[in-house]
Amino acid sequence: MFNLSRSQEIVWLHEELFPESRAYNFTASLDLRGPLDEPALRQSLATVLARHEAFRLELDPEDFPPKQRVNAACAPRYRTVDLTGGEDHEAAFEGLWREQHDEPFDTAEAPMVRWTLVRLAEEHHRLLHTEHHLVHDGWSFGLVLRDLFTTYRALAQGIPADLPDPRSYLEHVRRSVAAEERPGHRDGAVAYWRGALDGAAFDLPLPGLDPGRVRDVPHGDQLRQLLEPGPAERLRTAAHRHGHTPFSVLLTLFAELLRRESGRSDLVIGSAVGNRPPGFQECVGMFVNTIPLRIRLEPDDSALDAVDEVTEVLIRSLPHQGVPVQDLARELGEHSGTGLDNPLFHVMFSAHDAPVPHVEGLDLEVSVHEAFNTGTSRFALDVVLIPDSRRTVNARSGPGGMLLIWDFATDVYDRARIAGLQRQFTALLEAYLADTATGLAALTAAADG
């Protein structure tokens, strides 16, 4: 039996306090076009389950907080559904994915992943993949896709599957728990955050947001925003020219949007980070942490200078990403009404930059749809950047677009307000790309125009 990692603990606590929430269920739909070898697909899923022990973890509810163990003999949760006889395939599929996503996991019984193969036509299927965030993060999902379709190709073609050896997630848990027990092991990181956040205000004054109010089930909605390949490539080029990343540019512009929205130029914005230690790139599991990025904007500065400063904030902060955010809040003396809601920030901006793997030689066209609208949002506003909107396992050509997914709490924002913020964000980006020397205040004026 093993303790939970600190990343797992916050997921488990959320589920204890909000049993009706499905915020930590992750569902993706894999669209499969072409002649499908269903037995090979099913065997490939079994191989994924056997390769990665994280999916076979289960919690022992007798302990509090619970401990976890690996179930060596669990079978895949797999079913097939044929929708070819119906008239409205998409409506029927929508009902299926919602049913699969909303079904709670019994975390005391492995595996914490389930699959449904949906037949829409002779050569058109969709595979619904749902897993629990106790055992999952974005990088892990890329490993699953690679292993699944590399194994499928090998089985379909009768050749060996060449896959690297996976790394044990429980090895990571053992190491992280041992590190937690060493006195002073993260004093330096905590000292950095104390200095970086000294004097910061965490109660961002957004319209409709009451930071002191405790929400029960965090109801939410979602709007997606596509940056077409043209402007996305201009952004990549401009960022590279000035030594930035597209993420740092967009984070700066998002902070400027919040400055306009809140009237505050000293902001704390949360961001999800991989927090994956060296040597664990081949490990499926939950590693993610969130960090509080303090961004101070000077409206009279040029937008380029602002991006420079935000880039420096990222460079200074990322080496200290290992402090669990719930522990950091306690170290800073910040508390929330439930002990779960993050008191350091109410708005998130993150990048889901784990690449979709490219598997050559497939007889299938495979496209990936993820980040469904779950009807929940753990923050007032939670924006995720997907740097390449071409979510396909097959070969890609030419530059891709970018996708921004805006999840929002419906007791703070409505869809019309979020759509308005998206338009302003697009205008800020267009103004920045037109002239990076423009002042932030002028960018805001351009957005208003």
We report the CATH number of the domain holding residue 113 as: 3.30.559.10
Q: Which pLDDT score is estimated for 261?
A: 92
184 domain residue, yes or no: no
In a domain, 192, yes or no: no
User: Going residue by residue through the chain (449 aa), what tens digit of pLDDT does each one get?
Assistant: 889 998 898 889 888 887 887 888 999 999 999 999 999 999 999 999 999 999 999 999 888 889 999 999 899 999 999 999 888 889 999 999 999 999 999 999 999 999 999 999 999 999 999 999 999 899 999 999 999 999 999 999 998 899 999 999 999 999 988 887 788 888 999 999 999 999 999 988 887 776 555 455 568 899 999 999 999 999 999 999 999 999 999 999 999 999 999 999 999 999 999 999 999 999 999 999 999 999 999 999 999 999 999 999 999 999 999 998 988 998 999 876 554 557 899 999 999 988 899 999 999 999 999 888 888 888 899 999 999 999 999 988 888 999 999 999 998 999 999 999 999 999 999 999 999 999 998 996 645 54
Is 167 in the same domain as 219? no
Residue 296 lies in a domain: yes
Overall pTM > 0.75: yes
Q: 374: domain CATH number?
A: 3.30.559.30
Spatial neighbors of 361 by CB under 8 A, at least 6 apart, are: 153, 157
Q: List strands edge to edge, sheet with 25-33.
A: 78-82, 113-121, 124-132, 25-33, 365-369
- Report the number of distinct structural domains present in the chain: 2
Q: How far is CA 89 from the centre of its chain?
A: 28
Rounded CA-CA distance 306/436 in Å is: 10
Given this model, what pLDDT does residue 444 score? 64
Domain boundary among 119, 154, 172: 172
Does 71 fall in a domain?
Answer: yes
- Cβ(346)–Cβ(379) below 8 Å: yes
pLDDT, position 217 = 54
Tokens 């980006």: give the residue: 429
221 in a structural domain = yes
Domain that holds residue 322: 199-204+213-448
Q: Within a domain: residue 191? A: no
- Same domain for 259 and 113: no
